[in-house]
């Protein structure tokens, strides 16, 4: 069951990665890539990853909330739902920090995101 889920997630990731604009991909095929084109590619990839992370977090919080409400006071189900919500929020925090770090490094290096 986990292999099928992992395969579905991998297929979706590959599909969305393939949606990059051709102009961004051409920066690497027209010669030596510049620092700005490399930074733009990293930002584009991090934006996609953050979008998936945000979507997964919202789904995790919603499912955790439904599990919490449906637990009917049973302690094991209640703790499982609480952990699911907490881990989803921690994931968003870590993803936001990573995205901010990439943006901050670009600002320090004075690279403009084109």
Phi-psi region of 13 (alpha: psi -120 to 50; beta: other; left: phi over 0): alpha
Most confident option among 33-37, 66-70, 95-99, 107-111: 66-70
Residue 78 forms part of a structural domain: yes
What's the CA gap between 35 and 1, in Å, rounded? 42
What's the pTM value of the predicted model, to 2 decimals?
Answer: 0.58
Range of the domain at 55: 32-114
Quick one: how far is CA 58 from the chain centroid? 12
Asked if the structure places residue 7 within a domain, the reply is no
In this prediction, residues 21-49 reach a mean pLDDT of 67
| Cα–Cα distance, 53 to 87 (Å, whole number) | 12
Nearest to 106 by CA among 49, 42, 50: 42
Residue 76 resides in a domain:
yes
Q: Is residue 104 part of a domain?
A: yes
């Amino acid at each position: 069951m986990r292999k099928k889920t992992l395969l579905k997630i991998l297929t979706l990731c590959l599909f969305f990665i393939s949606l990059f604009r051709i102009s961004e991909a051409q920066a690497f095929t027209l010669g030596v890539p510049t620092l700005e084109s490399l930074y733009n590619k990293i930002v584009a990839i991090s934006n996609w990853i953050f979008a998936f992370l945000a979507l997964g977090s919202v789904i995790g919080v919603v499912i955790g909330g439904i599990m919490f409400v449906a637990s009917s006071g049973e302690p094991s189900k209640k703790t499982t739902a609480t952990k699911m919500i907490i881990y989803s929020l921690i994931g968003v925090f870590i993803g936001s920090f990573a995205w901010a770090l990439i943006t901050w490094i670009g600002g320090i290096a004075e690279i403009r995101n084109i």
